[in-house]
Amino acid sequence: MARDRKETERKLIEAAGEVLARDGFFKLGVNAIARQAGVDKVLIYRYFDGLSGLIKAYAQQGDFWPSTQELLDMPVDAIKQKHPSEQIAIIMENYAAGIRRRPVTLQILGWEMVERNELTAHLETVREEQGRRLFEMLWYRSDASSRQHSGRKPDVDIEAFVTILSAAVNYLAARSRLIRIYNGIELKEDRGWQRIVNLMRLLCERVL
């Protein structure tokens, strides 16, 4: 019985993503999701307390944002041995690649720039929690409340630096859905993104 529930929950979460990708947020209703999943819509209320709970579960499932392991692409102990400039360069390169592989994520990043809805709010929470975990894992001392960073120049605001880089990736990746070239950079081609990644790596080396 528990296994059946888990499988049905998985189907509903996947169906929410499929409806979202096909029809957009404002057509994301319980009827459409239940039809896509091939189950009774009453199960959305029974298992998730309604559409809001299902949207939250969808936002929290691992495939929407690149996972921590996907961003690091190596054991935590290994990346901790690297200088913060190299750590951030690796994370940003993996983040850019991970975001580009997720068309629904790109679609919602576009919405986030012009409107706020229940889904973008849940996803914002998940993103912020993941960012906090990364900072505590890599750049805060063990007494995280002191918010001291190790291994980088003391006058660099590392949160602000990562914010600028990740915001640039989000904006350009979201724009790539609709435009091919931005300031001469081909956003729909790997070679264009390699230019962006190379520049981010150089910035990390120079700033940190």
pTM of the model: 0.82
Domain with CATH 1.10.10.60 in the chain: 2-60
> What average pLDDT does range 159-163 have in this prediction?
93
* Residue 37 clears pLDDT 80, i.e. is over it: yes
* Residue 56 clears pLDDT 50, i.e. is over it: yes
> What average pLDDT does range 94-123 have in this prediction?
84
> What average pLDDT does range 53-75 have in this prediction?
86
Which residues, including other chains, have CB under 8 Å from residue 87's CB and lie 6 or more apart? 79, 138, 139
> What average pLDDT does range 146-167 have in this prediction?
77
Q: How far apart are CA 180 and CA 145, in angstroms?
A: 44
The residue among 10, 183, 188, 170 whose CA lies nearest residue 98 is: 170
Could you list the beta-strand ranges (E) of 40-197: 181-182, 185-186
- pLDDT for the residue numbered 173: 95
- pLDDT for the residue numbered 181: 95
What class does CATH assign to 2-60? mainly alpha
Confidence of residue 152 (pLDDT cuts 50, 70, 90): low
Residue 63, Cα to own-chain centre: how many angstroms? Answer: 9
Which has more confidence, 150 or 153?
Answer: 153
The chain-wide mean pLDDT, for the chain, equals 87
Question: Cβ(98)–Cβ(71) under 8 Å?
Answer: yes
